[in-house]
Amino acid sequence: MQQGSGMEMIFILIIFGAIFYFMIYRPQAKRQKQQRELLASLAKGEEVLTSGGLIGKITKITADNDNIVIALNDTTEITIKRDFVVAVLPKGSLKSL
């Protein structure tokens, strides 16, 4: 009876490991990969949304220190870290606001 319970415990641990992989690790890895691809594809002229809720158009990208300059309107520009970009918006999103 003791040997059977040891095998059952190993089987349960394997099942929990599979659940952890498919429910937690794998989706998180996919999100991280998509975010890296998004940051790598940023280009001048794209309209972006930042994690702070700012919406603007990229006017300058500096490759050496991972900063980008975003124009919020015609007179206001800010410099932020590239990592704070959450999404690239469709063209014309700023005009529709």
Q: Compute the average pLDDT of residues 18-42.
A: 91
> Rounded to 5 degrees, what are φ and ψ at 26?
-65, -50
Q: What is the pLDDT of residues 34-56, one digit of tens each?
A: 999 988 888 899 999 999 999 99
Pick one of 2.60.120, 1.25.40, 2.30.30, 3.90.320 as the CATH number of 43-96.
2.30.30
What are the angstrom distances between the C-alpha of 44 and each of 14, 32, 52? 48, 23, 20
pLDDT of residue 1: 47
Cα angle 97-79-53, degrees, rounded to a multiple of 5? 40
Length of the chain: 97
The ranges assigned to domains in the chain are 1-41, 43-96
